[in-house]
A and B are shown apart, each in its own frame.
Chain A
Amino acid sequence: GENVEQHPSTLSVQEGDSAVIKCTYSDSASNYFPWYKQELGKGPQLIIDIRSNVGEKKDQRIAVTLNKTAKHFSLHITETQPEDSAVYFCAASKGMDTGRRALTFGSGTRLQVQP
Chain B
Amino acid sequence: DAGITQSPRHKVTETGTPVTLRCHQTENHRYMYWYRQDPGHGLRLIHYSYGVKDTDKGEVSDGYSVSRSKTEDFLLTLESATSSQTSVYFCAISESRNTEAFFGQGTRLTVV
Contacts and interface: CB of A to CB of B under 8 A. Distances in A.
B70 interface: no
A42 B105 contact: yes
A9 B40 CA distance: 8
Interface residues of B, number: 25
Contacts of A51: 98
A32 B45 CA distance: 17
Interface in B58-103: 58-59, 90, 92, 97-98, 100-103
A89 B42 contact: yes
A101 B31 contact: yes
Given A102-B45, A103-B45, A44 B98 contact: no
B31 A46 contact: no
Interface string A12-42: 0000000000000000000010101000011
A interface residue count range (under 10 / 10 to 19 / 20 to 34 / 35 or more)? 20 to 34
A44 B103 contact: yes
B22 to A, nearest CB: 15
A46 B93 CA distance: 12
A100 B56 contact: yes
Interface of A: 1, 6, 9, 32, 34, 36, 41-46, 49, 51, 89, 93, 95-96, 98-108
Interface of B: 31, 33, 35, 40-45, 48, 50, 56, 58-59, 90, 92, 97-98, 100-106
28 contacts: A9-B40, A32-B98, A36-B103, A42-B105, A43-B103, A43-B104, A44-B90, A45-B103, A46-B100, A46-B101, A51-B98, A89-B42, A95-B98, A99-B97, A100-B48, A100-B50, A100-B97, A101-B98, A102-B33, A102-B45, A102-B58, A103-B43, A103-B45, A105-B35, A105-B42, A106-B42, A107-B40, A107-B41
